[in-house]
Amino acid sequence: VKPLFQNIAIVGLGLIGGSIALELKRKKLSPRIIGISRSAENRREALKLKAVDAAYSRVGSFLSEADLVILAAPVKAILPLLKNLKGFLKKDAMVTDVGSVKGEIVRAASRMKGFHFIGGHPIAGTERSGMKAAERDLFRGRKWILTPAPGTSKPCLKRLTSLIENLGARVVLMDPGEHDRIFSAVSHLPNVVAYALANAVASLEDPDLPRFAGSSLRDMTRVAGSPPEMWRDICLSNREEILRRMRNFEGVFGRLRKAVEKGNPSGLFKFFDQGRRFRKKLEAQRTL
């Protein structure tokens, strides 16, 4: 069978870009895969693992060969990268991204001319980062959101969908604004709360604390091991939605504080019971 894309360029050989490259290669989904990453370590690792056929430190004329460019850098770096590389693209090349926030990127990129842009967000990952953290099978059985704009070409959407399905993921189409609202609740809020919790516990500055830290603290702060650049950019790009979720969180947390202050047994029981019901529902739906 003829591959869907003859030449794929991946900008950013980190956890997500690196995992895409590994899987494209393993499944022989494209005869030529080019990686672009500023760090020599990410490039070296990608070449060593044979995840890419060639690796460059910056965008350049070699991009004129690419049928598909995948932007896999932190959210706020994606539009500047696109502006830098668009002059090199061949006519009608396709471009997608994997950024965790979609509105800002899709609004700007779908207005640009000369290439086909389709925003994307794979719902897969870990708290680890860099090409060293890349995993085969990272996308198997996971959702991969695509956020086409009104003018998106149907054949392009179909081609990208096929590629993603070949990586083992299931494509879900969403409006970018709806994506950002939902992911502010199911992903961005839990992640920022994990960092806040880590900082709050650290501020107690008791040298004995780490020795006694157990599974609750470990589970609750796991995602605070993610790169700070990534969460800085997500907060800058999805600012309004994240602020809404944070204000709501403060209200909910305030209710809990009041129940503790009052020593109100039924209030406390109700609060914890309600939370547990939600958790059980997530478990039953196997979404965790």
Q: Exposed, middle or buried: residue 240 (CB in 10 Å: 0-12, 13-18, 19+)?
A: exposed
Q: How far is the CB of 18 from ligand NAP (least distance, A)?
A: 7
Task: DSSP for 256-281, please give it.
Answer: HHHHHHHT-HHHHHHHHHHHHHHHHH
Total site size for ligand NAP, rule CB under 6 A: 27
The answer to whether residue 198 forms part of the interface with ligand NAP (CB under 6 A) is no
The answer to whether residue 77 forms part of the interface with ligand NAP (CB under 6 A) is yes
229 Cβ contact partners less than 8 Å away, ≥ 6 residues apart: 74
- Binders of ligand NAP in range 130-169 (CB under 6 A): 130
The answer to whether residue 34 forms part of the interface with ligand NAP (CB under 6 A) is no
Torsion angle of the four alpha carbons 137, 217, 245, 101, in this order, in degrees rounded to the nearest 10: -30
The answer to whether residue 49 forms part of the interface with ligand NAP (CB under 6 A) is no
Q: Which segments within the chain are labelled E, that is strand?
A: 7-11, 32-36, 54-56, 68-71, 93-97, 115-122, 143-147, 170-173
Q: Pick from 227, 249, 267, 268 the residue near ligand NAP by CB under 6 A.
A: 227
Task: DSSP for 68-106, please give it.
Answer: EEEE-S-HHHHHHHHHHHGGGPPTTEEEEE--S--HHHH
Q: Pick from 5, 7, 8, 17 the residue near ligand NAP by CB under 6 A.
A: 17
Span from 104-112, 117-125, 198-206, 266-274 in contact with ligand NAP (CB under 6 A): 117-125
Q: H or E element: which one contains 196?
A: helix 189-202
> Is the CB of residue 45 less than 8 Å from the CB of residue 22?
no
User: Cα–Cα distances in Å, from 54 out to 67, 100, 118, 170?
Assistant: 16, 27, 25, 29
Span from 69-77, 154-162, 244-252, 276-284 in contact with ligand NAP (CB under 6 A): 69-77
Give the span between the Cα atoms of 202 and 257, in whole angstroms: 20
Give the span between the Cα atoms of 214 and 44, in whole angstroms: 37
Site string for ligand NAP, 253-272 (x = CB under 6 A): --------------------
Span from 13-21, 144-152, 262-270, 276-284 in contact with ligand NAP (CB under 6 A): 13-21
Q: How far is the CB of 133 from ligand NAP (least distance, A)?
A: 6
Retrieve residue 211's tokens.
């020795």
Q: Pick from 74, 103, 119, 176 the residue near ligand NAP by CB under 6 A.
A: 74
Span from 12-20, 84-92, 106-114, 247-255 in contact with ligand NAP (CB under 6 A): 12-20
The answer to whether residue 109 forms part of the interface with ligand NAP (CB under 6 A) is no
Span from 73-81, 110-118, 175-183, 188-196 in contact with ligand NAP (CB under 6 A): 73-81
What residues line the site for ligand NAP (CB under 6 A)?
Answer: 12-17, 37-39, 42, 72-75, 77, 81, 98-100, 121-122, 125, 129-130, 227, 229-230
